[in-house]
Structure 1
């Protein structure tokens, strides 16, 4: 128990007319002042009483009905955590941000609340905060992996949520140290995003084959065509409005989430995406055929932006028609965001200034752009050919198949 020092005294008149000294201390848990009578009529005796009384903090806390914050359970502590309008941490982050650059996003808060309710509270709920140890946390991580078969990356995400929660407990002097800091992050095997070859992409994006690969679905085709030629994210494409389309560029300023609606882009920065006249004409055609009344290009007739599956599914179907089975697609790790890899890689091959590429796709670091660059084996074969011109390889007498 922690008392703010100094404690204060005040006098009250008893029924017998004598002035009795009371003392007042601060309850850190409830953020209120708590007072108690000393039973003394002199200040000196009252001070001696208080010093003796507070010498045993646990007994004093019990008498004053001050609960040690460390003794509260994790379930109690987590009650208001990650609630958009109640959690002090979330409110503080929101207050630090602006409308354009929010301090924290609703989608992130909702994800953290989901992990808190589904994994953290069921395991740690009945433990007191000061009973949560690094060993207990490591045991929890093992259960997430072996019982619930969560990936290493997902376990790291859950660890991050717990880290923030207990760090705030330290900041608020509820805990002396954060046990999560004494645990290790899980090792993650990063899997490179796959993509279509340029030949495969050219084949399914051939407008003359719209009926064959896309079953006449102009909206689905246009979304993939735009992604391949701009590197735009799926949410940015869905959020696109006709007013964002200019003569030779698109002004990207928002993204769409089916649960939370329109929000800022991933890094909260607007960007200019150059387009050709063909791309511009295609987007206007999609908009006119949709009959949208809201300005959204990729929307239903009632003006509501389409769901992600409405764009993703036609692309997967086109790949199956091309001969890429669902099994092959998963093995090659091709997703809709693979169009982003495709665009960045093609730009790299064309020796476009890396800073310009980052500006178009909205990357803030070189490493992120490198992460989305994926050269296929056939595209790297020319290196061996170039190298053979510099160094002659010895002839082998063996005949290999």
Structure 2
């Protein structure tokens, strides 16, 4: 047995009644019945749209009491969510709401109807966002974040490369490690479309970030806000999770550099590794970056200058210098002779592409940079420098820029030697300076400033390159890794 009705769309809906209800009078606003497993009377109430509610216990064993209870439901226009064993009604649901639920359960919804429902819920502040099945945001948040910082899987990284802003492998690896270490406890098992600004702000209260420096916390935030911003702008999530997040303000530490007197004393001292010593001399005399010195090959050493054509990173190998522009630097004969003498010890040969600072393990790689700061600080300790840890290999670049700018007084000329491209206005000015005149000025300045360093170093007929580094490794001494300088 069944009855039919038309819903608001004019569609005919057929409702089949259980066998136990077929003898009920269909003109009543409710259906009353008992089950085999309960002493109480149950009811189904007819709703305004013709559908019926689900089975609800009246909590009454007497039929007359049960009918009275159901009539109260009908008069009030709501039924209890459930009834306790003592007959007390707990919670309530209106007939209108039950009709809405019945409609949602039994009818196919159009795309527009689904979107309208979501918009109403959002407008009522009931939900912040909804992730629809098979939508772009219906993906695991951690999987998306890891893929975002994986070069061969990330549309963002490919887009950046096409725009000339390629991220380094080291930076990508750091971002991936941050996601796994700091964000996994907060975002695991969440969908991308579920993440809100409140989820991002939880990082400020996380125990893992409490002892981090502001600079590191900023990197932790950017590891997730950059992917979420890209996802929002590309329609993968409705949530703006990046605006309004205040990044920590980090004040860079003031760079400490050696005085010229301290530098002369340092290079007059005995070092445990003369290859590192020579690399530091080149950095001091030219202001070259560590990666640029490691990348030096025999073909880069001219009659009176160094051609800075590459930089080396353990993560990318040989690549273009920072800012993508090659440059050259005039050097005195003494320094050139020391560089070529170092190259002559290369066990892999002395061809044009042979590295000056070669690796004992491979002809395709230069010396590992991990030990540079270690040997530098040992030498600083030997001359009684009070705080060797405040000096790094990169400090020589700062020293060169400071002293050369003070001596020449023209930042445009100094930038030709250092390769800095931080100010577009200086780029335009530098383009109008004759390069050879600028190189001559720089050569005069560096010879005036740093020639005392070279005098004793080049006084011997043979510049001996010793390598205590191999001895330490053979003796089982564990060398701690150092951060590679920029």
Say yes or no: TM over 0.5. yes
Return the match for 1:231 from 279, 283, 287.
287
Tell me which residue corresponds to 1:185: 247
2:316 paired with 1:253: no
Alignment partners' CA distance in 1, 2:423 and 2:160: 28
The 1:287–1:60 alpha-carbon spacing in structure 2 relative to 1, beyond 3 Å, is same
Tell me which residue corresponds to 2:372: 311
Tell me which residue corresponds to 1:340: 397
Contact 1:74 1:121 in 2 (8 A): no
Question: TM (normalized to structure 1)?
Answer: 0.68
Q: Judge which range, 133-142 or 311-320, deviates more.
A: 133-142
2:327 paired with 1:271: yes
* Number of corresponding residues: 301
Alignment partners' CA distance in 1, 2:172 and 2:289: 21
The 1:321–1:145 alpha-carbon spacing in structure 2 relative to 1, beyond 3 Å, is same
Alignment partners' CA distance in 2, 1:363 and 1:227: 15
Alignment partners' CA distance in 1, 2:398 and 2:284: 9
The 1:60–1:142 alpha-carbon spacing in structure 2 relative to 1, beyond 3 Å, is closer
Tell me which residue corresponds to 1:349: 406
- Unpaired segments of 5 or more residues in structure 2? 1-106, 119-131, 427-486
Tell me which residue corresponds to 2:204: 141
- Paired residue secondary structure (2:220): helix
The 1:146–1:167 alpha-carbon spacing in structure 2 relative to 1, beyond 3 Å, is closer
Within a 5 Å distance, the mapping from 1:1-400 to structure 2 comes to 53-57=110-114, 66-97=133-164, 103-143=166-206, 146-147=209-210, 149-206=211-268, 209=269, 213-215=270-272, 217-293=273-349, 295-301=354-360, 302-303=362-363, 304-325=365-386, 328-330=387-389, 333-365=390-422
Contact 1:287 1:296 in 2 (8 A): yes
Question: TM (normalized to structure 2)?
Answer: 0.57
CA-CA distance at 1:177 after TM superposition: 4.3
- Paired residue secondary structure (2:344): helix
- Unpaired segments of 5 or more residues in structure 1? 1-49, 370-401
CA RMSD of aligned residues (A): 2.9
- Paired residue secondary structure (1:272): strand
CA-CA distance at 1:132 after TM superposition: 2.8
Q: Say which one has the larger Rg.
A: 2
Contact 1:54 1:60 in 2 (8 A): no
The 1:174–1:146 alpha-carbon spacing in structure 2 relative to 1, beyond 3 Å, is closer
CA-CA distance at 1:85 after TM superposition: 1.1
